[in-house]
Structure 1
């Protein structure tokens, strides 16, 4: 089998990097920046196919409701520190921030 120009032999281990998911530059420009209006293919956060998270529709509905409600309640919500000072988790299976200091 060949994947992305790399030959994978039968029985060889393949490891996927969750932190690299949806950051492929061929998907668009500046993929490390959050852009809710970006026209890009769907993300992999909830898995795919038979491995798709059973709670994905609920989580997506919660996000569609919670984020607008949060911004209506706190319209001036913003980072309290420069982006470069936001601490990211160093040792975690799922990439993300350790904490997110905000001001409003």
Structure 2
């Protein structure tokens, strides 16, 4: 038996449109950093890191956008990681 805890965040009954990146989604109701006594101690630092990185990226490149229609992205899907094979961007 394999527990795929990352799949818990893709339950459509609990998370509307789980496959869409939504940076405004309530981050407190996801399980990526664990739960309870096993909650990751580094989660506040990770959240601060991504906020700082995205702010710097979008400040430097305010016109950043996909260079192809979203429907043309090819996705890789594995047991631990899901993401685009390539992410063509333009600015």
TM range (shorter): 0.7 to 0.9
Structure 2 unaligned segments of length 5 or more: list them: none
- Using the size of structure 2 for normalisation, the TM-score is 0.73
Cα deviation, 1:57-77, whole Å, max 9, x if unaligned, reads 221111121111211111111
User: Rg: which structure is higher?
Assistant: 1
Higher helix share: 2
State whether residues 9 and 32 of structure 2, in contact with CA within 8 Å, keep that contact through their aligned partners in structure 1: no
* Count of aligned pairs: 91
Q: Which 4+ residue blocks in structure 1 deviate beyond 3 angstroms?
A: 38-41
Greater RCO, CA 8 A, separation 6+: 2
Match of 2:54 among 64, 67, 76: 67
Residue 21 in structure 1 maps to residue 3 in structure 2: no
- Using the size of structure 1 for normalisation, the TM-score is 0.66
Structure 1 unaligned segments of length 5 or more: list them: 1-12
